Structure formats: structure tokens, C-alpha cells
């Protein structure tokens, strides 16, 4: 059954369609909530609250094609509210580092995992609106227009937020590259002078 | 770093991070339980709204009665009569002349207390009708469950305002003219 048919069935009160709709969107919704909140527990709460609100108000949708934007609007708002409520510090903790190392493919380069950590660190430093735009654009593959509908703002605002977020991420990368090259220079100089510890 | 390269890196990092979590199977059961709980809460909230509206109606009745009791129509009528100093009278031969109001009007008005008593009664009736209409409005709008509470109050408020405006505009006949 297609998404639109499912929504129409849900509007008629079919609980089977509710379940199907939930299973169709749960993974993406949980991912988005997790990226916004950075904590598994809060992410699950956000998804739960969002689906409850979605099922309660699904009858109000006039255009089923706009379901995704409508649902993510609920999800993002619930996410922001919960993150603010828990006064959660969006910093990459030890738990995330462990999680990443287990989730990563061992054959992939170490560099990639470091880059990922760097990105998460940089994302955690972004404000909630900037971070949300990045998540919706890169993770949910939404267009600027769709994001503007989700966030209830002008497409120009989304563009500027995306630009600012990219610039900040780029700056973080640059900083890290510079520090890395400084470390390399330091170690190569130590080697030259025979101070690498093995000598 | 190139921008498109950065885009790819961000995308990869986000996807990688979300691989950490898997939605649990009992989550949907929790959602259904939450839905039921919210619906039960909504029913309670609706009955709570009934209580609030009944309280408001009761308050309006008490306030209305107090207001009616506090307004002394007779004394205000007397004040109005006392403020009239001269009266212009047209006699049978169509001659207009002025006369001292104390002598002409005041005595007639004081002796004729029936008119003042009538005025008091009409005021009471007006207030009762007005309260009844407010009651009816409250209960009617409370039946419409989908309507938000603030919207109901807004409509009731509007109705009340319109009613009082109507009373002021067209029910002058009930107020005695001196």
C-alpha cells in the first residue's frame, strides 16, 4: 500500500495502517531524533511523542502528499522542546565515541572514523536551528523547500542556515588539519634529532 | 577541503552515527498505550472544561444578581429628576412657557411610584434573560468537542457583547423615561 493510501486509511481510523505507517517511518524518525538530541533515551521519547501526536491529529491533514513535511515538523518541534527541557548539553560524550567505534566497519580507514568524530563534534557545537537544517538536508535528503515547510520559515532562511553551518564545519576541519600538520611536523623534527623514543 | 567533499563527509558521518541505534519492537506498543492514556486524559480534560464553564456561569449569575441589587433605580431616578430645574410647557392654547420644575414634575414623579417599580422589574427580567442566554450559549458550545476552549470562550464573549449591545440599542422602551 502506498504512503497516501496508508494515510487515508489512518484517517478512517484503521489501526493496522497506523502500525504500517509507523514501521515505514520509524527508522528515519529515530535517526533524526537521535541526531537532534544526541541521546538514545531522549530520541526514543521524541519518536514516541511525535507518533502519538501524529496519530491524534492525522485527521487534520488535508493533503496526504504533505505528510512527511507535516510529520517532521511535529518531530523537530518535539525534539527541540525535549532537548531544551532536559537542558541537554550537545557535546559528544564518551558513549558516542564507543558507539562509533563499534558501528564502524573495521576495514574502513581510521581516518574516516576520526573525520566522523570531528563532524559530530562540530555538529554538537552548532545551534539547534543550524543543526536541524544540516540533519534534514544531509540525513533526510530533504530539499530546501521542504525544509522550509518543516521549519516554517522562508527558503532563504534555510539557505543561510545551511551556509553558516557548512562554513562552521569547514572551519572546524581546517583547524583540525592545521593542528594535525603541526603534530606531524613536531614528530618528524623529534625523529630527526633522534628523540622518537626508540633510539 | 572541497565543499562537495565536505558534503559527502557530513552525510557519511550522520549515517554512520544513526547505525548505532535500532528501533525497539515494543516501541509501537508503548505508542498505543500512550495514545490510550492521552485519550483518557482528554476525556478528563473535557469534563474539567465542563466544571470551569459551570463555575463561570455560576459566577456570572452571582455577579449579575449583585449588580442588579446594587443598582438602585429609584434613587438614580430621583437624582435625575432633581437635576431638572425648569420645564417648558405647551398649554392648550399652544403657548409655550417655562415653569419651575420643582413644582410641576417632582411631585408627579414621587407620587407615581408604580412607574419606578416597573423599571426595577424590567431590569430584573432583562438580566435573567441575558443570563439564560449565556447559559444556553455555554452549554451549546460545550457540546462541540472539536472546538478549542479559547475559541468557545471567544464565541461566548462575542455573543454576550452582541446581546448587551442589542439590549442597549433596542430595549430603551423598558427603561422609564422621565
* Contact status, residue B155 vs residue B141, Cβ threshold 8 Å: yes
Q: What is the pLDDT of residues A122-181, one digit of tens each?
A: 888 888 899 999 999 999 999 999 999 999 999 999 999 999 998 888 888 777 776 666
Q: How many CB atoms lie within 10 A of CB A59?
A: 11
Residue B71 in grid coordinates = 443598582
- Which tops the pLDDT comparison, B80 or A93? B80
State how far the Cα of A176 lies from the Cα of A182, in Å rounded to an integer: 10
Q: Which residues of A touch B (CB under 8 A)?
A: 19, 22-23, 26-27, 30-31, 34-35, 40, 43-44, 47-49, 51-52, 55-56, 96, 99-100, 102-104, 112, 115-116, 119-120, 123, 134-135, 138-139, 166, 169-170, 173-174, 177
Q: What is the pLDDT of residues A81-133, one digit of tens each?
A: 988 887 655 554 444 444 443 343 434 444 467 777 888 888 888 888 999 99
Residue A90 makes CB contacts below 8 A (sequence gap 6+) with A38, A83, A124, A125, A128, A131
Is residue B29 pLDDT above 80, yes or no? yes
Bridge partners of B96, per DSSP, are B90
Residue spans of the domains in chain B: they are 73-111, 113-178
State how far the Cα of B74 lies from the Cα of B68, in Å rounded to an integer: 12
Q: Which domains does chain A have, with CATH numbers?
A: 1-88 (1.10.1740.10), 126-199 (1.10.10.10)
Three state DSSP letters for A69-123 = HHHHHHHHHHHHHHHHHCCCCCCCCHHHHHHHHHHCCCCCCHHHHHHHHHHHHHH
Q: Which of the 8 DSSP states describes residue B172?
A: G
Instruction: Check if the interface score ipTM surpasses 0.90.
Output: no
The closest alpha carbon to A121, from B157, B4, B17, belongs to B17
* Contact status, residue A37 vs residue A84, Cβ threshold 8 Å: no
Chain A interface, mutation test: which of B18, B19, B41, B43, most A Cβ atoms within 10 Å?
Answer: B18
Residue pointed to by grid coordinates 558507539: A99
Q: How far is A195 from chain B (nearest CA, A)?
A: 32
What's the pTM?
Answer: 0.57
* Contact status, residue A49 vs residue A75, Cβ threshold 8 Å: no
CA angle, corner B87, sides to B81 and B89, nearest 5?
135
Residue B38 makes CB contacts below 8 A (sequence gap 6+) with A52, A56
* Contact status, residue A79 vs residue A150, Cβ threshold 8 Å: no
Q: Which chain B residues are within 8 Å of A120, Cβ to Cβ?
A: 13, 17
Residue B141 makes CB contacts below 8 A (sequence gap 6+) with B147, B152, B155, B156
Q: How many CB atoms lie within 10 A of CB A29?
A: 24
State how far the Cα of B3 lies from the Cα of B1, in Å rounded to an integer: 7
Q: What is the pLDDT of residues A20-55, one digit of tens each?
A: 888 889 999 999 999 998 888 889 999 999 999 998
Amino acid at each position: 500500500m502506498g504512503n497516501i493510501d496508508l494515510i487515508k486509511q489512518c484517517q478512517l481510523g484503521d489501526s493496522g495502517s497506523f502500525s504500517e505507517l509507523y514501521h515505514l517511518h520509524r527508522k528515519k524518525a529515530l535517526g533524526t531524533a537521535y541526531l537532534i538530541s544526541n541521546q538514545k533515551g531522549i530520541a526514543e521519547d521524541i519518536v514516541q511523542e511525535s507518533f502519538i501526536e501524529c496519530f491524534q491529529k492525522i485527521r487534520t491533514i488535508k493533503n496526504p502528499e504533505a505528510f512527511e513535511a507535516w510529520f517532521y515538523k511535529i518531530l523537530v518541534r518535539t525534539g527541540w522542546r525535549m532537548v531544551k527541557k532536559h537542558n541537554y548539553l550537545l557535546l559528544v560524550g564518551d558513549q558516542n565515541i564507543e558507539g562509533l567505534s563499534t558501528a564502524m566497519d573495521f576495514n574502513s580507514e581510521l581516518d574516516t572514523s576520526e573525520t566522523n568524530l570531528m563532524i559530530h563534534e562540530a555538529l554538537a557545537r552548532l545551534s539547534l536551528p543550524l543543526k536541524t537544517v544540516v540533519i534534514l538536508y544531509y540525513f533526510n535528503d530533504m530539499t530546501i523547500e521542504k525544509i522550509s515547510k518543516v521549519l516554517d520559515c522562508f527558503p532563504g532562511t534555510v539557505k543561510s542556515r545551511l551556509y553558516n553551518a557548512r562554513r562552521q564545519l569547514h572551519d572546524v576541519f581546517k583547524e583540525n588539519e592545521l593542528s594535525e600538520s603541526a603534530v606531524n611536523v613536531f614528530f618528524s623534527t623529534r625523529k630527526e634529532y633522534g628523540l622518537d623514543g626508540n633510539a | 577541503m572541497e565543499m562537495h567533499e565536505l558534503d559527502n563527509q557530513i552525510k557519511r558521518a550522520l549515517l554512520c552515527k544513526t547505525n548505532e541505534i535500532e528501533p525497539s519492537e515494543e516501541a509501537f506498543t508503548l505508542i498505543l498505550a500512550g495514545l490510550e492514556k492521552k485519550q483518557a486524559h482528554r476525556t478528563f480534560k473535557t469534563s474539567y472544561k465542563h466544571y470551569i464553564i459551570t463555575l463561570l456561569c455560576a459566577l456570572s449569575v452571582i455577579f449579575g444578581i449583585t449588580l442588579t441589587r446594587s443598582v438602585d433605580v429609584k434613587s438614580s431616578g430621583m437624582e435625575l429628576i432633581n437635576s431638572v430645574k425648569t420645564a417648558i410647557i405647551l398649554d392648550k392654547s399652544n403657548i409655550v412657557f417655562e415653569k419651575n420644575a420643582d413644582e410641576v414634575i417632582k411631585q408627579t414623579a414621587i407620587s407615581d411610584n408604580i412607574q419606578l417599580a416597573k423599571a426595577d422589574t424590567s431590569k430584573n427580567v432583562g438580566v435573567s434573560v441575558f443570563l439564560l442566554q449565556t447559559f444556553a450559549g455555554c452549554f451549546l458550545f460545550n457540546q462541540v468537542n472539536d472546538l478549542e476552549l479559547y475559541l468557545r470562550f471567544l464565541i461566548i464573549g462575542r455573543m454576550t457583547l452582541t446581546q448587551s449591545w442589542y439590549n442597549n440599542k433596542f430595549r430603551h422602551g423598558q427603561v422609564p423615561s422621565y
